[in-house]
Amino acid sequence: MTSKLFLILLAVILNTAANLLIKQGSFNLQFSSFPSLNFFLQALRAFFTPYIFAGIIFYVLSLTIWLLVVSKNELSFAIPFMSLSYIFIAVASFTFWHENLTLLRVLGILVVIFGVYLVSKTG
- What residues make up the domain containing 45? 3-120
Q: Structurally, how many domains does the chain consist of?
A: 1
What are the Cα distances from residue 87, in Å, to 29, 50, 51, 121?
26, 25, 21, 20
Per residue of the chain (123 residues), what is the pLDDT tens digit? 689 999 999 999 999 999 999 999 999 877 767 777 887 888 888 889 999 999 999 999 999 999 999 999 999 999 999 999 999 999 999 999 999 999 999 999 999 999 999 998 886
Among 84, 82, 58, residue whose Cα is nearest residue 70: 82
